[in-house]
Structure 1
Amino acid sequence: MARVGPAVTPGNLPGAQRVLAAVVSGPGGRIVEPGAHADHAGAHHRAARPGGQPRTWRWAAVAVAGASVVGYAGHIVLAAGEPAAVATHRYLWIWLITGVLTMALILMGIWVHRPRRAWPWLLTAATVGLFTSWPARALGTGVPSADFTAFVVAGCALLLGASGVAMVYARGHPFTLASALDSAVIGIGYLGLQLHSRTLPAFAQYGDLDAWLYGIVTPIGMAISLVSVAHLQFHRPAHSRSFRYLLVGYLFAAAPITVSGLGVVSEPILVLALSTVPFVLLLGAAAVDPSMVDLTEPGRCPTDEFGGGWRFVVMVAATALPCIGALILPPDSAPQAWVVAAIQVMVIVLVVLRSRLAVRWWATATDSMSRLAVTDPLTSLANRRGLHEAVASLEHPRCAVLSCDLDGFSRVNTADGHRVGDLILRTAADRLRRVVPPAAFVGRLGGDEFAVVLPGPLSALLIAQAAEQIRVALAEPLATGTRTVAMTVSIGTVTSRHAEPPGLEGFTELLREAGLALRAAKDQGGNRVVRYSADLDLRAVRESAVQDGLGDSRCLDLHYQAIVDMNTRTVIGAEALLRLKTPALGSVPPSEFIPIAVRTGQIIGVGQWVLHRALDDLRSARDALPTDFLLSINVSARQLDSGDLVGDLQRAVGDDRWLAEALRLEITESEIAGPGAIDGLNRLVDAGFHVVIDDFGTQYASLQYLTNLPVETIKLDLSFVARIVESRADRLVVQHVIALGNDLGLTMVAEGVERQDQADLLMELGCPSAQGYLYDRPAPGLRRLGTIGSTAQDPTPS
């Protein structure tokens, strides 16, 4: 038989002892030692448990939580019909076992997840351990003394607060003024409620030790824990699952102390009993969840946000706590009323300060966003919108706009990386600020394009001088750390021509005109200044029509020019030559539309059209052509850089391997010096295609390419062939190139052969093949080339 002790009531126990001792009492408020006879009725309870994947340690956590919940629920059901001593004894064992297993869960969570900062969780485990010491003492020696109970309550509050502060410190979240005010409102509101409901009564009724531990230390510890959680919530949202478990656990710890002190319910013991197991289990659930690592990792923050609505609710609740305390005070509690009033004033002052800070922050944020809307973040210059607003403020009707673009910037940015590219752009911005007049506006329009607006009436000479100063300043060498970069700039200028300030629409038009002048400067080789003129508009209209034609396959056509063996005057191949004819412009020469196609990127689509059309023509004319007929098509460096040229060729050829053997891909010598061009040629050769170098001899020191390029054929540029008979120097160059090519096993083809004496001299020098008006004029269709005999056509070009 269990030993029966004397029954006592909550009023018989002094100080903090009533808090923890209450959990073993029945609904009548009687507190008994284990074995005492008293009725006890429980209440239903739902404990949080850690969820997750079915791993061994998680199943252990689920088992602990499940066993605790089942045991506690069974205890509540059984307690209704059995003596209080038996129910009390069982509940103490449930409390003890749950606490011990929860400590094991926390330590297991630390061991499994290995957070870099484990001490906040160790403090949490210590809190559970101290909390569990009360039922251990009660089961061993009976109801603990008042001093021991007060020590346990105060110690748990302090350890809980210390673990919260440790998490704040571990996450690297310093208290800003805003978060400090938010947290202070909550802390003072909670302390205000505790001051008159617990602290003052404790000092009036109990001894010094109980009063200090239970009336001062406990509220302060709980306030610190709530402030820490609020700081984590407000300063940088930490809405992980582990944090939610921890937050609810802290609330379970604070609620019974608050409710029991207020005396607003007739049975505070029921609240205390219901909070014990959930408090312990929630701390364990927080520790075993994988997101527990985030709570102690600096800078790691889940994406969930604690919105302004929740912040508002929490702040209102904290502000209302002292008011609630004032409402429940007895009529004769004048000293406490003054204390509550003072605390309420403090809370109101803090809320006002926080509101003022929020208004100031909003004004600063609005101003910052306004600046960002008109400022380029990289260079701190005005962006396009900023320039528009600056020009809109001009009072004088005249101004000049200079559009500046760095030559070759994309090449440097690709080769040296974005770090060097950004350095160049920032340096260019600094140099522009340095050289432009004080009244000028400078902005970055995007990429490597800048704009300068010079207000006021300015002569053409002054504008030209300003542009030249900019050109010289931006051309200064720049040390990037690994090498020195020498940049040049192209500039287009335009002057407003209206009697009114330009305004938004007028400035947009000025930018367009300056851009046309800039394009003209680029087309002339760059590193120069071009002034806008009306003919640039006509040129822009013509270029637009050319671009429209390039995008319409009905405007495209292929002509073919024969390549012949000069010794036998028989056709051995042909070159496909693209032609463009638009309804608006008629026939457009290749020297005009090819550069436009390359600059706009349309050359890629046009090149695909040429490839498929030429191969279709070759398939249909195969029976009329020699068996070893070769067809050359031109390929640009833009197509090589596109990365899918090999795939396009393979899809176009399909299973017809004879097409791949008959196809020759021509790339001009000027384009093989570009970055990645040789790699692109190697990819073509590796895929089984044949490469020809076109216009050979037009580049400086071009002979060096002969030993490095994966080519089979070289076509001599027509500029050498045209003067080969008259110019001894050209003849010597051609002679050495042919000799070197033959020694390297390369096939030599001469372009632009128009006279028989040129052909005779080329054959004498060892060049066997040629194309030109002497043998054939470009014309549609491949089948006609099979009928060309030994008699050359009229050599006079049309």
Structure 2
Amino acid sequence: MNADVHVLVVDDNENNRFMLVRYLHRLGFRQIAEADDGTSALARIRESRPDLVLLDVIMPDMDGVQMLEVLRREGRMGDMPVIMVSAHDTSEIVVRCIELGAEDYLTKPIQTPMLRARVMAILEKRRLREIELEFLTHFDPDTRLPNRHALIERIERLVAGGRRFALIAISCRNHGSIALSSGEDDATAGLRVLNDRIQASALPTDIVARVGDGTLAWLLPDVSPDHVLLRAVEDVLSGDAHGRAGIASDCTAAIASGPPVDAGEGAGDLLRLAMSEAMRVSPESSERVLIADSALRNEAREALAMLRDVERALAEGELLLYFQPIFDRDAQRLVGAEALLRWMHPVRGLLPPGAFLGAVEASPLMETLDLWVVTTASQALASWQRYLPEDFRLHVNLTAHGIMSGRLPGHVEQVVPMPLRRNLTLELTERVHVVDMPACVGALQQIRALGIQVALDDFGTGFSSLSHINLLPCDLLKIDRSFVTGVQGDPKRRRLLSSLIGMAQALELGVVAEGIEHGDELQVLQELGPLQLQGYLLGRPMPAGELLARMGG
């Protein structure tokens, strides 16, 4: 460490300088400059500030005290430690040097252990000051959070990398009044509480920074402003489980998205936009979180309203399952059914999942719905048990979000009785990207170990379908309707469909062809090989009672 420290030795006596330089070399210092009077020493310091100065007190023309006075006037003493060296140690001189900013005072003749101790102590103090300065450059000293400068640096890196992100400014509107009435410590404590609430929802890659007296900013890399994020921010600003709102009750927030659309805008512009938009919202408003982009704002609000309505529908029993039959190759014998989610809306009537699941898929509610569907399907199986054909399987759709949470296998084991597990198939849709493949594979392996079949739904249309067959443990492929529609008049499509069925056979996987709507399509599929059949031609989704009647119940 000492080898990189620049030291200036100032003494009019050549022998004294020689001895000091020699001592410093022994201590590992290599960057050592010399000056034989105060004037030349000042010139060196003005040209390049050293890390440490050893300064003789008694010198002709300009002595050490006078040199300190000049350095003090020029403002150079604040970040440059000076050790005075002199054979004179009268209290008046020592006190005067310390008053002018000298760090320490050594008397001649110099003793090496004393020099080492004093120099190393001063350099350690300097190192700690630099650490403190570096901390203050990037962190707020009161909350210990990253500061505005650190946040902008991070945003600039995201912008340079072309990565999308969301930037949320949260303004505590009562911060100033708390500081006036209770003191800055209480106001700062409120910000720490708010930070704790944010951290409870944040990912490890998120950054929370203090960007103003009463304002925190929350940066979320690789996230776009949508209704799910809007809901998360509203939860941060809402009361806790006991109804206590605390500091968050007077906060407002705004969400901006990056990178900026205008190439001329920078990180600071985006932060200012979010902060100004947060200040536009009234704490008394029913909507205390604003999305800065007006188009996204309307879209997210509509989706959030739908999400809340689905939550209500689940709680009030408006959701139900319909069942679409699945037949054998001859289209004569019922071999299964697919459970399909429906919503009996009090105003709009019966709604298919496409009318409402888009607002749910990326939210925590999706996993809740997955578990509800498994439970409800299991209850249906139990009620049909005495009428079930020997090889009947009920297919239940799951999302990758629900599977990757890790809670699904335990839930399935709990709600599906052992005798009914051979009648259940869980379908993983390939339209959803599997983010955590190891977690998904582990969950599916646990499900198969329970005796439950796993199918890949929408095969051929999702993310890397062929690699999914290799990676995901499965028993069955469901070929998407896009390969079936019009196959009777398209030789290329027929060859492709034949290849998919042949590949599944080679891998010892079962096959279900979906979306059969015309007799000609059915005929082609029956010619291609062993598979099961599903589509409107054979049976539309129906209530549980109608399916039970088909089974003879």
* Preserved contact between residue 571 and residue 786 of structure 1 (Cα < 8 Å): no
Give the Å deviation of 1:379: 3.4
Alignment partner of 1:768 out of 524, 528, 531: 531
In the alignment, structure 1 residue 531 sits paired with structure 2 residue 295? yes
* Preserved contact between residue 169 and residue 218 of structure 2 (Cα < 8 Å): yes
* Preserved contact between residue 669 and residue 699 of structure 1 (Cα < 8 Å): yes
Shift in CA distance, 782/738, structure 1 to aligned 2, threshold 3 Å: farther
Matched residue of 2:443: which SS? helix
In structure 1, the residue matched to 2:315 is 551
In structure 1, the residue matched to 2:246 is none
Separation in structure 1 between the aligned mates of residue 551 and residue 348 of structure 2, nearest angstrom = 33
Give the Å deviation of 1:785: 4.7
**Unpaired runs of 5+ in structure 1?**
1-363, 393-409, 434-440, 452-462, 475-488, 518-529, 790-798
Alignment partner of 1:444 out of 217, 240, 253: 217
Matched residue of 2:290: which SS? helix
Please tell me the residue identity of whatever aligns with 1:668.
Answer: T
Alignment partner of 1:784 out of 541, 547, 550: 547
In the alignment, structure 1 residue 502 sits paired with structure 2 residue 265? no
Separation in structure 2 between the aligned mates of residue 717 and residue 373 of structure 1, nearest angstrom = 50
Task: Give me the TM-score of the superposition, normalised by structure 1.
Answer: 0.37
In structure 2, the residue matched to 1:571 is 334
In structure 1, the residue matched to 2:405 is 642
* Preserved contact between residue 307 and residue 359 of structure 2 (Cα < 8 Å): yes
| Same amino acid, percent of matched pairs | 25
Please tell me the residue identity of whatever aligns with 2:539.
Answer: D
Alignment partner of 1:696 out of 448, 459, 483: 459
* Structure 2 counterparts to residues 342-361 of structure 1, below 5 A: none
Matched residue of 1:468: which SS? coil
In structure 2, the residue matched to 1:401 is none
Structure 1: which 4+ aligned runs deviate by more than 6 Å?
368-374, 380-383, 389-392, 463-466, 470-474, 492-496
Matched residue of 1:758: which SS? helix
Q: Provide Cα deviations, 1:283-310, integer angstroms capped at 9, x if missing partner.
A: xxxxxxxxxxxxxxxxxxxxxxxxxxxx
RMSD: 4.6
Give the Å deviation of 1:580: 1.2
Separation in structure 2 between the aligned mates of residue 788 and residue 450 of structure 1, nearest angstrom = 48
Please tell me the residue identity of whatever aligns with 2:427.
Answer: E
Separation in structure 1 between the aligned mates of residue 285 and residue 146 of structure 2, nearest angstrom = 16
Please tell me the residue identity of whatever aligns with 2:327.
Answer: V
* Preserved contact between residue 545 and residue 584 of structure 1 (Cα < 8 Å): no
Please tell me the residue identity of whatever aligns with 1:557.
Answer: L
Give the Å deviation of 1:698: 0.3
Separation in structure 1 between the aligned mates of residue 464 and residue 476 of structure 2, nearest angstrom = 18
In the alignment, structure 1 residue 752 sits paired with structure 2 residue 515? yes
In the alignment, structure 1 residue 616 sits paired with structure 2 residue 392? no
In structure 1, the residue matched to 2:291 is 514
Please tell me the residue identity of whatever aligns with 1:669.
Answer: E
In structure 2, the residue matched to 1:668 is 429
* Preserved contact between residue 169 and residue 275 of structure 2 (Cα < 8 Å): no
* Structure 2 counterparts to residues 155-166 of structure 1, below 5 A: none
Please tell me the residue identity of whatever aligns with 2:290.
Answer: E
In structure 2, the residue matched to 1:26 is none
* Preserved contact between residue 374 and residue 383 of structure 1 (Cα < 8 Å): no
Shift in CA distance, 690/446, structure 1 to aligned 2, threshold 3 Å: same
* Structure 2 counterparts to residues 17-32 of structure 1, below 5 A: none
Matched residue of 1:513: which SS? strand
Separation in structure 2 between the aligned mates of residue 770 and residue 710 of structure 1, nearest angstrom = 22
Shift in CA distance, 567/758, structure 1 to aligned 2, threshold 3 Å: same
* Preserved contact between residue 574 and residue 631 of structure 1 (Cα < 8 Å): yes
* Structure 2 counterparts to residues 219-298 of structure 1, below 5 A: none
Matched residue of 1:581: which SS? strand
Matched residue of 1:730: which SS? helix
Separation in structure 2 between the aligned mates of residue 450 and residue 597 of structure 1, nearest angstrom = 16
Give the Å deviation of 1:503: 6.4
Q: Provide Cα deviations, 1:466-507, integer angstroms capped at 9, x if missing partner.
A: 931479979xxxxxxxxxxxxxx9xx99997xxxx8365399
Give the Å deviation of 1:598: 2.7
In structure 2, the residue matched to 1:590 is 353
Q: Provide Cα deviations, 1:658-706, integer angstroms capped at 9, x if missing partner.
A: 3111111111123463312222212222333210111101035422333
Give the Å deviation of 1:615: 1.8
* Preserved contact between residue 718 and residue 751 of structure 1 (Cα < 8 Å): yes
* Preserved contact between residue 581 and residue 587 of structure 1 (Cα < 8 Å): yes
Matched residue of 1:693: which SS? strand
- Which one has a bigger Cα radius of gyration? 1
* Preserved contact between residue 455 and residue 476 of structure 2 (Cα < 8 Å): yes
Shift in CA distance, 604/450, structure 1 to aligned 2, threshold 3 Å: closer
Q: Provide Cα deviations, 1:17-47, integer angstroms capped at 9, x if missing partner.
A: xxxxxxxxxxxxxxxxxxxxxxxxxxxxxxx
In structure 2, the residue matched to 1:542 is 306
Separation in structure 1 between the aligned mates of residue 274 and residue 514 of structure 2, nearest angstrom = 41
* Preserved contact between residue 578 and residue 590 of structure 1 (Cα < 8 Å): yes
Please tell me the residue identity of whatever aligns with 2:540.
Answer: R
* Structure 2 counterparts to residues 89-168 of structure 1, below 5 A: none
Please tell me the residue identity of whatever aligns with 1:379.
Answer: L
Separation in structure 1 between the aligned mates of residue 531 and residue 361 of structure 2, nearest angstrom = 33
Please tell me the residue identity of whatever aligns with 1:670.
Answer: R
* Preserved contact between residue 564 and residue 771 of structure 1 (Cα < 8 Å): yes
Shift in CA distance, 541/604, structure 1 to aligned 2, threshold 3 Å: closer
* Preserved contact between residue 493 and residue 531 of structure 1 (Cα < 8 Å): no
Separation in structure 2 between the aligned mates of residue 717 and residue 749 of structure 1, nearest angstrom = 9
Alignment partner of 1:713 out of 472, 476, 483: 476
Please tell me the residue identity of whatever aligns with 2:289.
Answer: R
Please tell me the residue identity of whatever aligns with 2:308.
Answer: S
Matched residue of 1:598: which SS? coil
In structure 2, the residue matched to 1:291 is none
Alignment partner of 1:379 out of 138, 151, 157: 151
Shift in CA distance, 700/504, structure 1 to aligned 2, threshold 3 Å: closer
Matched residue of 1:666: which SS? strand
Q: Provide Cα deviations, 1:50-74, integer angstroms capped at 9, x if missing partner.
A: xxxxxxxxxxxxxxxxxxxxxxxxx
Give the Å deviation of 1:743: 1.5
Separation in structure 1 between the aligned mates of residue 472 and residue 404 of structure 2, nearest angstrom = 17
Separation in structure 2 between the aligned mates of residue 673 and residue 577 of structure 1, nearest angstrom = 22
Larger helix proportion, structure 1 or 2? 1
Give the Å deviation of 1:788: 6.8
Separation in structure 1 between the aligned mates of residue 364 and residue 168 of structure 2, nearest angstrom = 27
Separation in structure 1 between the aligned mates of residue 531 and residue 301 of structure 2, nearest angstrom = 48
Task: Give me the TM-score of the superposition, normalised by structure 2.
Answer: 0.52
Matched residue of 1:772: which SS? coil
* Preserved contact between residue 432 and residue 462 of structure 2 (Cα < 8 Å): no
In structure 2, the residue matched to 1:189 is none
Shift in CA distance, 705/778, structure 1 to aligned 2, threshold 3 Å: same
Separation in structure 1 between the aligned mates of residue 319 and residue 284 of structure 2, nearest angstrom = 38
Please tell me the residue identity of whatever aligns with 2:261.
Answer: E
Give the Å deviation of 1:636: 1.7
Shift in CA distance, 682/374, structure 1 to aligned 2, threshold 3 Å: closer
Separation in structure 1 between the aligned mates of residue 175 and residue 378 of structure 2, nearest angstrom = 57
Separation in structure 2 between the aligned mates of residue 788 and residue 376 of structure 1, nearest angstrom = 67
Separation in structure 1 between the aligned mates of residue 354 and residue 383 of structure 2, nearest angstrom = 30
* Preserved contact between residue 546 and residue 582 of structure 1 (Cα < 8 Å): no
Shift in CA distance, 503/576, structure 1 to aligned 2, threshold 3 Å: closer
Give the Å deviation of 1:632: 1.0
Aligned length: 340
Give the Å deviation of 1:442: 9.6
Give the Å deviation of 1:372: 6.2
Give the Å deviation of 1:637: 1.5
Shift in CA distance, 729/780, structure 1 to aligned 2, threshold 3 Å: same
Give the Å deviation of 1:567: 1.4
**Unpaired runs of 5+ in structure 2?**
1-135, 154-166, 178-198, 226-255
Matched residue of 2:403: which SS? helix
* Preserved contact between residue 374 and residue 386 of structure 1 (Cα < 8 Å): no
Separation in structure 2 between the aligned mates of residue 616 and residue 685 of structure 1, nearest angstrom = 20
Matched residue of 1:566: which SS? coil
Give the Å deviation of 1:724: 2.0
Separation in structure 2 between the aligned mates of residue 774 and residue 470 of structure 1, nearest angstrom = 54
